Every structure is written in structure tokens, then in C-alpha cells.
């Protein structure tokens, strides 16, 4: 075996080991943050985004999933754990009555591109 082959093989093994370690810790963190909330079972890396692929607008998919999991459910979009809230009364409750618990903004590249200042309320 050449030195180049050995180096490439060891690099691949290190990357796989890091991916397994990060997957292991993220699954433990997701279980701790679960709080018994219903939601679809996520796939590795893409989360539950595959469920939204068949809709022209993702919000249609959120409405269809609400019929299965209820008006408030958890969903993993990529590697980001999210809470999806459907229905005007539920949205009002989340934004007005429980706003302190839901004041964080998602750390998506698209969100950061649209709104350069993530903490725009300060």
C-alpha cells in the first residue's frame, strides 16, 4: 500500500469517526430536548425535509403534517430542531403569551442572508 493510499484511508476513517460521534451526541441532545412532543422521525443529515419536497410551498406540508401530529409538533429541518405551530389561536399563544420561550431565531444560512442582523430586536 502506498503512502498516499494510507493517508487517504486514514483521512476517510477520521471523517467517518467524527460523523458517528456527532450523530451520537446530536441524537442524545434531541432525546433530551424532545419533551414528549409528537413529530415525524427524522432521517440523518436531511432531517424531515423529505416530507416537504412534494409540496410547491413548504407551508402546505406543515398543514398536512398538522393533521397527523396535531397543531404543535417538532420537526427537524436539516440538523436544526424546530417547533411548528399551526392555527391562529396557537400562533397568538406562542407569540404573545409565551414569547419569552420562543424568541430565538433559526440559524439558517438563508435566514442570515435575508436578515443580516440575527438579533434585530435589540
6-10, 47-51, 104-108: segment of lowest average pLDDT: 104-108
- Residue 70 pLDDT: 92
Q: Residue 102 in contact with residue 96, Cβ under 8 Å?
A: no
Domain ranges for the chain, please list them.
Answer: 23-114
Query: How far is Cα 5 from Cα 68, in angstroms, rounded to an integer?
Result: 50
Q: What is the mean pLDDT of residues 43-58?
A: 86
The overall average pLDDT reported for the chain is 78
What kind and span of H or E run contains 19? helix 3-33
pLDDT one-digit tens code per residue, 57-72: 888 899 999 999 999 9
For residues 59 and 24, give the distance between their C-alpha atoms in angstroms, rounded to a whole number.
30
Is the pLDDT reported for residue 32 higher than 50?
no
Q: Give all strands (DSSP E) within 34-98, no chain letters.
A: 72-77, 80-85
Amino acid at each position: 500500500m502506498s503512502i498516499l493510499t494510507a493517508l487517504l484511508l486514514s483521512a476517510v476513517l477520521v471523517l467517518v469517526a467524527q460523523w458517528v460521534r456527532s450523530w451520537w451526541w446530536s441524537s442524545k441532545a434531541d432525546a433530551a430536548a424532545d419533551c414528549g412532543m409528537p413529530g415525524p422521525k427524522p432521517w440523518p443529515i436531511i432531517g424531515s425535509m423529505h416530507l416537504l419536497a412534494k409540496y410547491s410551498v413548504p407551508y402546505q406540508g406543515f398543514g398536512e403534517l398538522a393533521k397527523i401530529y396535531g397543531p404543535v409538533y417538532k420537526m427537524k429541518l436539516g440538523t436544526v430542531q424546530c417547533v411548528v405551530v399551526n392555527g391562529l389561536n396557537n400562533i397568538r399563544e406562542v407569540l404573545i403569551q409565551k414569547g419569552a420561550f420562543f424568541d430565538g431565531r433559526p440559524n439558517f444560512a438563508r435566514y442570515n442572508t435575508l436578515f443580516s442582523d440575527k438579533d434585530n430586536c435589540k
